[in-house]
Amino acid sequence: MLLPIRRTFDQYVNVRPAMLYEGIESPLKGKKPGDIDMLVVRENTEGEYSDIGGRIYQGSDREVVMQGSMFTRWGTERVIRFALDLARQRPRKHLTSITKSNAQRHSMVFWDEVFQAVTKDYPDVQTSSLLVDAACLNFVLRPERFDVVVASNLFGDILTDLSAALVGGLGLAPAANLNPSRSHPSMFEPVHGSAPDIAGKGIANPLASILTAGMMLDFLNERQAASLINRAVAQVLAERKVRTPDMEGRASTRQVGDEVIRTIQTLRAQ
């Protein structure tokens, strides 16, 4: 149901932060808390997930499969503008566009052209463009170079799983599906989704969902409450005491959630 929901409510922006917290060791050698702090902005309603195509002669040696992608100037420009506005609000003011124009000579060349045109309206934001394979390489070798990243539906989906792995895994990866105009509802879900493979076992890491709730509160202009949630999660991670198995701990989902609640209550009382 995710794709129909995103399209129906025009949730054309997917925002996925990746931050290395104190108390979490990255699989990358020598990376310290704060070294990795990026926002990936993924186009969320068209591109490679447009569901254009079909199959004929299924199961025979004549079977033919076609899968198309759709990029509109309007859709591409608005997500790039959103990413530029985000970058403008951050200290580094840098945006990287992810493309594959050396192989996808129509859709990605078009993406590059729109990107170059729109960035002219943002002289205060530094911009660069990377091929997606080079981006994967640099996510691993030099993740600290990235601030805000904007990518198509498919590339953004893949890169955000990689960025999550660099900062502790999907259990720490929040996400938001936004309708920035607020003409329709937005939807907030962690990158990992519902994790049905471990449902009911009490071992799922709840922190991605809790951080996602913080993103929702921020979108609803409840900035103080959002900050409280983010501070509480950061403190629980820094203390290294209560952790689910994915973070090499023995605590249950409920125990980690209860610890975040206790920390929020303590921070509010200060």
User: Which residues participate in catalysis according to the annotation?
Assistant: 57, 100, 133, 157, 161
- Return d(Cα 242, Cα 63) in angstroms, integer: 53
Residues 6+ apart with CB under 8 A from 186: 9, 11, 176, 177, 178, 179, 216, 219
**76-5-3-230 Cα dihedral, nearest 10 degrees:** 80
Torsion of CA 147, 153, 159, 165, to 10 degrees: 110
Distance between terminal CA atoms of the chain?
Answer: 42
Q: Outline where DSSP puts E strands in 125-211.
A: 126-131, 148-151, 176-178, 187-188
Taking alpha carbons only, the member of 105, 75, 81, 77 closest to residue 95 is 81
- CA 161/CA 86 separation, integer angstroms: 21
Paired tokens of 21 = 């917290």
Residue 17: count of CB within 10 angstroms of its CB = 21
Are 97 and 65 in contact by the 8 Å Cβ rule? The answer is no
